[in-house]
Amino acid sequence: MGRLFPRHRGRTAAAPPARTTTPRVLAALFLLATTASCSAVIPAPGASPPASAAPRPVTAGINQFRDNYSRRIIEIQLTNNTAGPLTVLAAELESPLFPSGISWPAPGGGMELPPGQPKSLPAALPAPDCGQGSAPAGSASGTAAAVTATPGPADAGPGGPATVSLRLAGPEGRTEQQAAVPAPDPYGVLTRNNAEMCLAQAAAAVAGFRLEPDLEVSADGRTAVVRLTITPRRPAGGQLLTVDRIEGTTLLAEDQDVPWPRSVTVGAGGLRPGPATVLRLRIRPARCDPHAVAEDKVGTLLPLRVRVGGREGILKVDAGGLLRGRIYDFVTSACGRQ
């Protein structure tokens, strides 16, 4: 029972009057509450606790903020269900989709959990388990920060149960305890990220993707051209990657007069990779409301719908800081001309 988190201070038990409660009696009551709570905080894997079970002192969940999609950072969300503050000293999310564990980098002294107030603990995702046929873990080197992926139907699947292992302390650092609590994932954050990262690995083994930092704005200022460079690698087995189509974003749309290319196949056999392919994409603003640029988070992640190594889905190529600023300036100016 060393990993259990006992209920503190026995709040659900009937306490004797304050004038007759000695420190020795309080210690005995705390030990009794700790022992009684053990069966309540560990249900069978995947099972719900019985209706009569006391609520867990801390409950957990999984989420991801939109502006962290490309950074591969998720949120371990904790709620303190006790009447007093607790301090989180360490937290690690355990999931078969990320076998090395997903750790929250705790600051010195941990983080306080006020009663009843959910807190989000950001945690970077490690290498995923991609199963059979996955690319080597190092194959995405140099591309992970620039390319993300969204799985297609072929990548969907249950991720199995997730659990958060916690190290907690009560007020003023007293009664340090360990706890292992289930972590529901109602939005499929772990499954989605696993499929995205495995698709990105498979794609990175075949080719590198880069948006060039320059932006060619048309004479009338209403459209512009971005250049997507796809550089083939020399993958084992001579795998091919197909870019079925390029999709628009919340900020950028295809110029209908100059359609974006479709069904672009990339790959390399032999001893050396083939030459790079440069796709010129003429863009226009997808929206011109006042919030288009001010509230943008994913509008400069260019989505490529691809197929590679038995997987399919969307790779999102990040524009990078320099091009991102130029795109924002272009959209602002082009919208002002309408």
| pLDDT at position 164 | 96
160 & 283 share domain: no
* CA gap 125, 162 in Å, rounded: 14
- Is 278 within the bounds of a domain? yes
87 & 212 share domain: no
**Is the model's pLDDT at 192 over the cut of 80?**
yes
Read off the pLDDT of residues 237-252 as tens digits, 9 standing for 90 and up: 667 899 999 999 999 9
87 & 110 share domain: yes
* CA gap 54, 37 in Å, rounded: 8
Three-state DSSP state, 98: strand
Contacts of residue 187, defined as CB under 8 A and 6 or more positions apart, other chains included, come to 62, 63, 64
**Is the model's pLDDT at 273 over the cut of 70?**
no
302 & 224 share domain: yes
- Is 1 within the bounds of a domain? no
- Is 22 within the bounds of a domain? no
Q: What mean pLDDT comes out for the span 186-204?
A: 93
Q: How many separate domains does the chain show? A: 2
- Is 218 within the bounds of a domain? yes
Q: What percent of the chain has pLDDT over 70?
A: 71
228 & 289 share domain: yes
Select the more confidently predicted residue: 302 or 8.
302
Q: Which domain holds residue 180?
A: 56-192
Q: Where are the beta strands (DSSP E) in the chain?
A: 58-63, 73-80, 86-95, 98-104, 111-113, 119-124, 147-151, 163-169, 177-182, 207-211, 216-217, 224-232, 240-246, 252-254, 264-267, 277-285, 301-308, 311-318
* CA gap 303, 140 in Å, rounded: 18
138 & 100 share domain: yes
DSSP conformational letter for 269: -
CATH number of 273's domain: 2.60.40
Examine the fold and report which residue of 136, 163, 192 is the final residue of a domain before the chain moves on.
192
Read off the pLDDT of residues 4-52 as tens digits, 9 standing for 90 and up: 344 333 333 344 444 443 434 333 333 333 333 332 333 333 444 444 4
- Is 170 within the bounds of a domain? yes
CATH number of 72's domain: 2.60.40.10
Read off the pLDDT of residues 74-115 as tens digits, 9 standing for 90 and up: 999 999 999 999 999 999 999 999 999 999 999 988 999 999
φ, ψ dihedrals at 127, nearest 5°: -60, 135
Contacts of residue 330, defined as CB under 8 A and 6 or more positions apart, other chains included, come to 215, 217, 221, 224, 285
| pLDDT at position 233 | 84
Among 36-50, 123-137, 321-335, which range has the highest average pLDDT? 321-335
180 & 250 share domain: no
Tell me what the pLDDT averaged over the chain comes to. Answer: 78
